[in-house]
Structure 1
Amino acid sequence: MDENNNVLTGDIAALRQFRDIVDRNINSTNQVENLKNEEKRLDKEINSNKKTLKDNIDGTVKSRRNDVASKYDSEIGKEEDRLKKIKDKRSKAKEKGVKERITEETAELTAQNKELKGNIRTALKGERLPRFCGSSFYFALFFTKGASEVFFCGLMMILMCFVLPGVVYYLLPVNKDNGFTSKVILAATYFVVIILMVFIYLLIAGKTKKKHEDGLKNIRQLRERIQGNNRQVRKITRAIRKDNNEEVYELGDFDARIKEVEDEIKRISDEKEKALLNFDENISNDIVKEIESKEMPRINDLQKEYDETVSQKESLEEIVKETSLKISSEYEAYIGKEYTNLERIDALIKIMENGQAQTVSQAIDLYKRQS
């Protein structure tokens, strides 16, 4: 079509040329939409394959790194078990040595206590007193001395005067529902039990303390010597257990074996650290290359196809842009947008082919009248 003429004055050739432009615009637009869908599909597939590749690489590297570490951890675990057993044996040997040392250093005091206990038994026999009279319980009640024995006596008074009567009352097979009767029985129970306890106490005191006071005081002195020896034994025991000097227990063999195992654990740990460092710096890269060599060709092919699709789409978008501008500026402005679709253009061409119009303008007028 001549630049000096508009489409309205053009003939059938100009109309056919216009039809070709519109057809090309429509086909290019459809192809652009198809290529956009293909672009999205390829992009999604590429990203999916890349994620699968990354997960495969990360999983494989982690798994093989754990395999390397687990071999060393297994050996370290065995050595740590050995170390624990040796330390347990050392502890038992030390404890045995401590006990032997305590026995040795307290032997004289232990022997004295044995002799003093024999003297107490002899004294009890000489006084014709039961063994009960040589017990801590007896002396706390009848020869009370010191804060601990005073506390014990107070506790016994509470038990005998309050707790025991209550227990006896609870065990009595009588009706406890009657308020007044129950109170009378309870009071009577307390009275009887307390009187009975006082009677028993005075009876024992009269039979033993009053008749054999000098002998019992002598036994008391023997017991105090035993208690003094026991305090000395406890003091020696504490001092021995707090003593940090272990040379006397001859634990050198255990210490040497412990050091040997600890050195072995350190050696294995150092080897593990080096092996993992080598894995991170070298082996992991080889694993990545190995996996990528299998997977990347497929991803690269998809990327190439994606790039070609984008290039085709952009070329067609340029065609759509050019034809759209051409339709808008050179045709639509003259004939109106309603005559820029193929159906009406074909109808106008048919009118002109039938010889009913010589120009596009005449064809449009006739089309309007026929419509």
Structure 2
Amino acid sequence: MEGENLLTGGIDRLKEMQESLLELESYKNQLSSSSAEEKRLATSKKDLEKSMEEEVLATVKKRRKEIEDTFEGQIDKVKAKIKKSKDKRDKFKNAKVSERIALETAPLRDENKKLKQEAKNIFRIKRIPSIFNTRIFFALYLPKHFTDIMAIMGILLITLLVIPCAIYFFLLGEQRISYLIIIYLISAAIYFAIYVAISNLVKDKHMEELTQVRGIKDNIRVNKKKIKGIKYSIKKDRDESTYGLEEFDENLANLDKEIAEILEQKKEALSTFDSSTSHVISESIRAPYTEKITAVSEEHDKAYKSSADLEEKVKALILKIANEYEPYIGKDLMNLDYLNTLSNIINAGNATTISEAIAYYKKGMEEAGIK
């Protein structure tokens, strides 16, 4: 009823306004529910898509690792064979090296045995006690090498320092510097007495024989150095052709080739997986998800359309109320409680039009002292 004065209307116009407000409230409630459903479906779709991608990634990663682990397991087995073969090769080579050392040093070792026996024979023929046929004796009485000097220094250190200090600190109940000096002098005297006695009884008496044995020991020393040099040279020799290692080397070469073949197979398997198999796996996982996502998307589209329609209805009603009712009633009073009050006034016979009902309402409020 465009152009008609709303205030001249009666109970029917009030019912019309009430119905418009109730309809607006209903549309708003429907819009709220529809919007909530739209949001829920959007979240559900997003969760499904996330779950799908996570399952695809996890499954593809797991299957790829299974392929890698299978090939790595085979490689580890071959590596274990290589280690075992190398250990056998090293053991065999070491045995051959030892044989070669024994063979090439045999003349020198035999010569040393003869020289040692010759020295023993000299001591036996000249009735020199065998206890003097030692390295320490010759170091003390016929020193010739740096090691002899070191042996002399060690013996002097023990005799003139270690023994006196041990007696002084551990055996004496009372410790005085004078006691230490006395012990030192006694130790030195005993040492030099024994040294001079052995020198007089053995060295001076058998100087010629001892000098001869000294020469023999020098020859033994030279031979030992030669033996040591031969051992070092053989161990450092890179030529392994004389040790018969061909069978081991052939086996190791075959094992290395086997590892190379497994690595190539692994590379091909992973390439096939990445280019083809992974896509098949992804599609098989996505298929059931896609059905659910499509269904949810359709429901979401319906909810979205419903929300859009409801928004238009709400908008249209709000504009209608703002255009047709609020200018007469007032925006702040355009509510169901106020309209119900006006309806009750007319129904009670206190007014026939909306304008009269409003005037009656205001008068009652003034009488009640409410502005």
Could you state the TM-score of these two structures normalised by the residue count of structure 1? 0.88
Q: CA deviation at 1:255?
A: 1.0
**Residue 188 of structure 1 corresponds to which residue in structure 2?**
182
Work out which of the residue numbers 154, 173, 176 in structure 2 matches 1:175.
173
Amino acid at match of 1:245: D
Alignment of 1:119-268 (within 5 A): 119-172=118-171, 174-176=172-174, 181-268=175-262
Q: CA deviation at 1:55?
A: 3.0
When residues 196 and 338 of structure 1 are mapped into structure 2, their CA distance, relative to the original with a 3 A threshold, is same
**Residue 111 of structure 2 corresponds to which residue in structure 1?**
112
When residues 187 and 6 of structure 1 are mapped into structure 2, their CA distance, relative to the original with a 3 A threshold, is farther
When residues 336 and 113 of structure 1 are mapped into structure 2, their CA distance, relative to the original with a 3 A threshold, is same
Alignment of 1:64-83 (within 5 A): 64-83=63-82
When residues 333 and 185 of structure 1 are mapped into structure 2, their CA distance, relative to the original with a 3 A threshold, is farther
CA distance in 2, matches of 1:359, 1:95: 125
**Residue 313 of structure 1 corresponds to which residue in structure 2?**
307
Q: CA deviation at 1:37?
A: 3.1
> CA-to-partner distance for each residue in 1:295-338, whole Å, 9 max, x for gaps?
33223322322332233223323333343344345433442233
CA distance in 2, matches of 1:353, 1:88: 114
CA distance in 2, matches of 1:226, 1:160: 30
Alpha carbons 1:6, 1:330 under 8 Å: kept = no
Alpha carbons 1:90, 1:251 under 8 Å: kept = yes
Alignment of 1:356-371 (within 5 A): 356-371=350-365
Amino acid at match of 2:90: S
CA distance in 1, matches of 2:104, 2:117: 22
CA distance in 1, matches of 2:203, 2:4: 151
**Residue 88 of structure 1 corresponds to which residue in structure 2?**
87
Deviates more, 1:204-213 or 1:184-193: 184-193
CA distance in 1, matches of 2:257, 2:334: 91
Q: CA deviation at 1:249?
A: 1.0
Q: CA deviation at 1:353?
A: 4.2
CA distance in 2, matches of 1:270, 1:33: 62
Amino acid at match of 2:173: N
CA distance in 1, matches of 2:290, 2:18: 47
Deviates more, 1:294-303 or 1:328-337: 328-337
Q: CA deviation at 1:16?
A: 3.1
Alpha carbons 1:7, 1:331 under 8 Å: kept = yes
Amino acid at match of 2:266: K
> CA-to-partner distance for each residue in 1:142-177, whole Å, 9 max, x for gaps?
2222333323322332222112211223331x434x
Q: Secondary structure at the match of 1:269?
A: helix
Could you state the TM-score of these two structures normalised by the residue count of structure 2? 0.88
When residues 345 and 207 of structure 1 are mapped into structure 2, their CA distance, relative to the original with a 3 A threshold, is farther
Deviates more, 1:13-22 or 1:224-233: 13-22
Deviates more, 1:249-258 or 1:202-211: 202-211
**Residue 368 of structure 2 corresponds to which residue in structure 1?**
none
**Residue 97 of structure 1 corresponds to which residue in structure 2?**
96
Deviates more, 1:34-43 or 1:94-103: 34-43
CA distance in 1, matches of 2:320, 2:188: 127
Amino acid at match of 1:145: K
Q: CA deviation at 1:234?
A: 1.5
Indicate yes or no: 2:16 matched with 1:30. no
Q: CA deviation at 1:354?
A: 4.4
Q: CA deviation at 1:9?
A: 4.6
Amino acid at match of 1:67: E
> CA-to-partner distance for each residue in 1:215-256, whole Å, 9 max, x for gaps?
112111111111111111111221211111111112111111
Indicate yes or no: 2:341 matched with 1:347. yes
Alpha carbons 1:165, 1:194 under 8 Å: kept = no
CA distance in 1, matches of 2:26, 2:75: 72
Question: 5+ unaligned residues in a row in structure 2: which ranges?
Answer: 366-371
Indicate yes or no: 2:274 matched with 1:280. yes
When residues 199 and 291 of structure 1 are mapped into structure 2, their CA distance, relative to the original with a 3 A threshold, is same
Work out which of the residue numbers 290, 296, 301 in structure 1 matches 2:290.
296
Over the aligned positions, Cα root-mean-square deviation in angstroms equals 2.4
**Residue 48 of structure 2 corresponds to which residue in structure 1?**
49
Q: Secondary structure at the match of 1:357?
A: coil
Q: CA deviation at 1:132?
A: 3.4
Q: Which runs of 4+ in 1 moved over 4 A?
A: none
Q: CA deviation at 1:6?
A: 5.6
Q: Percent identity?
A: 31
> CA-to-partner distance for each residue in 1:36-75, whole Å, 9 max, x for gaps?
3333433333333333333322332223223323332222
When residues 335 and 115 of structure 1 are mapped into structure 2, their CA distance, relative to the original with a 3 A threshold, is same
Q: CA deviation at 1:280?
A: 1.7
CA distance in 2, matches of 1:330, 1:50: 49
Q: CA deviation at 1:98?
A: 1.4
Amino acid at match of 1:127: K
